[in-house]
Amino acid sequence: MSAGPGRPVFLTGMMGAGKSTIAPLLAAAWGVPWIDLDVRVARIFGASVAALFARGEAQFRRCEHLSLRLLLAEPGLRARTVVIATGGGVVLDPASRALMHAAGHVVLLEAPIDELTRRLLAPGQRATRPLLAGPDEVVRARLEEKLSDRRSAYGEANMVVDTSGSPQDAVHRLLSAFSEVHP
């Protein structure tokens, strides 16, 4: 199955789960394009995710939803494999979840909270992640709270893949899982 499942694949999960790292690797394995939804949001609205988020999370989620709708309205997109790395909170909007499920496969990338915390405390991570503002000791508690808030929405995913190992291991698990579902 070198061309993928023939429909968009949405990578969801908490920040630090590996969506933006795994998306290009999975796309390369299938020989298909990939899209970072956060990059698309920033391009469409002419501001960084951090700047848009500074206007309020509700406003950012509206921008995110509109960007997703515009993407899925592109001719032919729903009928081909394209890997889409979403923002971690896209699942908070029921309309965005419905769009993703109607258009393709929703995959939850998971890693243990200790691993997420380790990844997110790595140098250079905070500048691009508005929800990581504050002292180090607050990051884990904030992650646990966000994960708790999103657990039921994440639970609607079509597939769950553990990303606690290397990105290559996660891609291998994804390819194996998709080959079982779409032989």
- pLDDT tens digits, 34-58: 999 999 999 999 999 888 988 988 9
- pLDDT of 1 strictly over 50: no
pLDDT on residue 163? 96
**Residue pair 79/6 in contact by the 8 Å Cβ criterion:** yes
Confidence of residue 139 (pLDDT cuts 50, 70, 90): confident
pTM above 0.75, yes or no: yes
Q: How many Cα atoms occupy the beta-carbon half-sphere of 97 within 13 Å?
A: 16
DSSP, residue by residue, 28-66 = HHHT--EEEHHHHHHHHHTS-HHHHHHT-HHHHHHHHHH
